[in-house]
Chains A and B, each alone.
Chain A
Amino acid sequence: MERTNIRRIVVSGALGAVSAVMAVTPLGYLPWFGGASLTIMHIPVIIAAILEGPVAGAIVGLVFGVTSMVKAATAPIGPLDPLFANPLVSVLPRLFIGVVAWGVYRLFRGKLTPLAAGLAGAAGGITNTVLVLGALGLTAAAQLSGTFGVSTSALPAVLATIALTNGLVEAGAAAVFTSAIIAAWKGVEGARGASRLSDEERRQP
């Protein structure tokens, strides 16, 4: 199937659904130590951008953002959820994830495909972290200071720390997933060979 308008529509819709399901169920959150969790819900956005271009990436980003906003407004669970009910925080930053990921993928496309996909995934994850934290800092400085227990002037330092620790790890996870999915879809062996379940032992050939 060549790249047609229909293909862009259905791929965006399908990946938008994947992102929405990951947002409203516990599936989108990888448990990490310390009670925090890594989110992987931006991965379908990156995939859409790589496979179908920046417009598809922006649309899936829009679906992701709106879903997280609706979820924050109808079923909030964490302390940061009320802040995500603001579309400037939940929707606007997510529109750019796909665009950035597509740009990075285009840059490196000539080289090894899984590597290019991994870099695009990392770039998308970093975009998500930086833009969302930036939007939070700009719109809700007072509430964030209250939640973290610091004064408003110390807030940028706190956000920067979160961006570096949580953000870099999320970028790494996004790179892993993106390169695995793109490699599987394009029929290319992944960077480390086919994936395996964590309990299987490596067999000797």
Chain B
Amino acid sequence: MKGIEFFRNVSIGRYVDVDSPVHRLTPVAKYLWLLAIIIPVSISGSTTVVLASSIVALACTMLARVRVGFLLRGFVPVLPLFGIAAVFQAIFSWPGDTSAVLVAIGPVSLSLRELLAIASMGLRFVAMMLAIGLFTSVTTEGDTARGVEDLFAPLARLGFPARGFALTIAVAFRFIPIVAGEFESVVKAQAARGADFGAGARGPIRKARAYVPLLVPVTIRALERAEALGEAMEARCYGVGPATRFVRSVGGYVDTMARIGAVTYLVMALASPSLLGWR
């Protein structure tokens, strides 16, 4: 195994504690806008929609007083990939490509359609990075879990276990630093007993078996903690009686407008290419 690192500080996304109009929205509004940006960017074939969504994501980032460079920092190592993909787009032509040729050097030519394809590829990723990064920057972990429950609350009336689902996510958040610490201590303990985790082993099956003394203890310990947590919850009468919650988030006028805005944007983004014939 490579150097023994300190995993205890692992976190998924970083919360930026600033006060801004976006921070003040309820978790449901934040979720709705996240979906409103992610869904069109993932499935829409129209370049215009992707561009519009990128601009929306950028606007939200600036509105939230989060520095754009902070969110796009991770894009730099990936730039070479786009360079290579762009080169290949230029070399291989689409059959039946009748759009204007922009640059031609000998047999290699770059047409408008290919340029749009490259730009669309890059923009999609930038929009995803901005939207997801921004969401983790404006939403605390507790809000993320509570927001899930609020988001599925309408379905809860139909029997969907929104409370259980949100609780699973909250438990996962709480366990992440604990599990990371477990990994770290098991790695150190086994290394102290002379384990090398298959550094010199040949063959994938033998390498895998060498990881067993790491993965099995951590998983078993996680399951044991889960059992203890479950007993503690039962001892506090979880599941008996109606579900209550200490923190309630109530949005005002601005929040409701934000929610409506998100849903409207999503519907428009998905429907306009076919209705308006955009490319």
Complex: A43 Cα to B230 Cα, angstroms? 22
Which of A77-85, A99-107, A108-116 sits within the interface?
A77-85
Residues of B within 8 A of A197 (CB): 190, 193-195, 213
Is the pair A70, B233 in contact by a Cβ cutoff of 8 Å? no
Q: Which residues of A contact B7 (CB under 8 A)?
A: 21, 25, 27
**B271 on the interface (CB 8 Å rule)?**
no
Q: Return the chain A residue nearest B43 by Cβ.
A: A88
Q: Is the CB–CB distance between A199 and B195 below 8 Å?
A: yes
Q: Which residue of A87, A169, A181 is within 8 Å of B215 (Cβ)?
A: A181
**Are B183 and A25 interface neighbours, CB within 8 A?**
yes
Inter-chain contact B133/A73, CB cutoff 8 Å: yes
Which single member of A21, A79, A185 contacts B10 (CB below 8 Å)? A21
Q: Are B215 and A10 in contact (CB under 8 A)?
A: no
Question: When A and B form their complex, which 5 residue pairs have the shortest distance between CB atoms, in order from nearest?
Answer: A13-B171, A146-B85, A17-B175, A14-B226, A173-B208
Alpha-carbon gap, A47 to B85, bound state (A): 38
State whether the Cβ of A133 lies closer than 8 Å to any Cβ in chain B.
Answer: no
Interface string of B240-255 (1 = CB under 8 A from A): 0000000000000000
For A146, give the chain B residue with the smallest CB separation.
Answer: B85
* Other-chain residue from B77, B178, B207, B231 in contact with A32 (beta carbon distance below 8 A): B207
Known: A59-B165, A88-B43. A71 touches B223 (CB 8 A): no
User: What are the residues of chain A within 8 A of B12 when measuring CB–CB?
Assistant: 20, 24, 67, 70-71, 74
The verdict on A180 contacting B216 (CB below 8 Å), with A5-B239, A85-B132, A198-B195 known, is yes
Residue A162 at the chain B interface, CB threshold 8 Å? no
B132 and A18 form a contact (CB under 8 A): no
**Using Cβ atoms and an 8 Å threshold, which residues of chain B touch A12?**
168, 171-172
Judged by a CB distance under 8 angstroms, whether B17 is at the interface is: no
> Quick check: A13 and B170 within 8 Å, CB to CB?
yes
Q: Does A131 reach chain B (CB closer than 8 Å)? A: no
Give residues 73-131 of B contacting A (CB, 8 Å): 74-75, 77-78, 81-82, 84-89, 92, 117, 121, 124-125, 128-129, 131
Query: A74-B74, A176-B208 given as contacts; is B172 within 8 A of A40 (CB)?
Result: no
Report whether A14 and B198 are in contact in the complex, using a CB–CB cutoff of 8 Å: no
Q: Which residues of A contact B5 (CB under 8 A)?
A: 25-26
Query: Measured between alpha carbons, how far is A7 from B233 in the docked complex, in Å?
Result: 10
Kindly state the interface size class of chain B when it binds its partner. 35 or more
Asked whether, in the complex, the Cβ of A1 is within 8 Å of the Cβ of B230, the reply is: yes
CB <8 Å contact, A38 and B183: no
With CB as the reference atom, state the residue of chain A lying closest to B175.
A17
Which of A17, A44, A145, A169 has the largest number of chain B CB atoms within 10 A?
Answer: A17
The answer, yes or no, to whether A69 is at the interface (CB within 8 Å) is yes
Residue on B nearest A170 in the bound complex, by CB: B204
Specify which chain A residues have a CB less than 8 angstroms from the CB of B227 in the assembled complex: 1, 7, 10
Known: A13-B226, A87-B38. A82 touches B209 (CB 8 A): no
Cα distance A89–B165 when bound, in Å?
Answer: 22
Q: Does A11 lie at the interface of the complex (its beta carbon under 8 Å from any beta carbon of B)? A: yes
Q: B136 to chain A: closest CB distance in Å?
A: 7
Interface string of B166-199 (1 = CB under 8 A from A): 0111111111101110010000001001111110
| CB pairs A–B below 8 angstroms (14 shown) | A6-B234, A9-B230, A10-B233, A16-B168, A17-B174, A38-B208, A43-B219, A75-B74, A76-B78, A87-B38, A87-B42, A88-B42, A143-B85, A198-B210
Closest to B88 in A: A146
Kindly provide the distance from the CB of B138 to the nearest chain A CB, expressed in whole angstroms: 13
Q: Among the listed B71, B125, B204, B208, which residue makes an inter-chain contact with A82, where contact means beta carbons less than 8 Å apart?
A: B125
- A176's partner among B117, B205, B229 (CB-CB below 8 A) is B205
| Interface membership of chain B positions 157-170, coded 1 if the CB is closer than 8 angstroms to chain A and 0 otherwise | 00001001101111
Contact of A14 (CB < 8 Å), options: B10, B164, B212, B222: B222
Among A27, A44, A145, A180, contact of B88 (Cβ-Cβ < 8 Å): A145
Judge if B211 is at the interface, Cβ distance under 8 Å. yes
Asked if A11 and B165 sit within 8 Å, CB to CB, the answer is no
Q: Which residues of A contact B88 (CB under 8 A)?
A: 145-146, 149
Contacts A21-B7, A26-B2, A76-B75 given; 4 further ones with Cβ under 8 A? A13-B175, A25-B5, A70-B136, A185-B223
Residues from chain B with Cβ under 8 Å of A24 in the complex = 10, 12
Nearest chain B CB to A179 CB, angstrom units: 10
- Residue of chain A at shortest CB distance from B83: A146
Whether A27 and B183, one on each chain, are in contact in the complex, defined by CB atoms closer than 8 angstroms, is yes
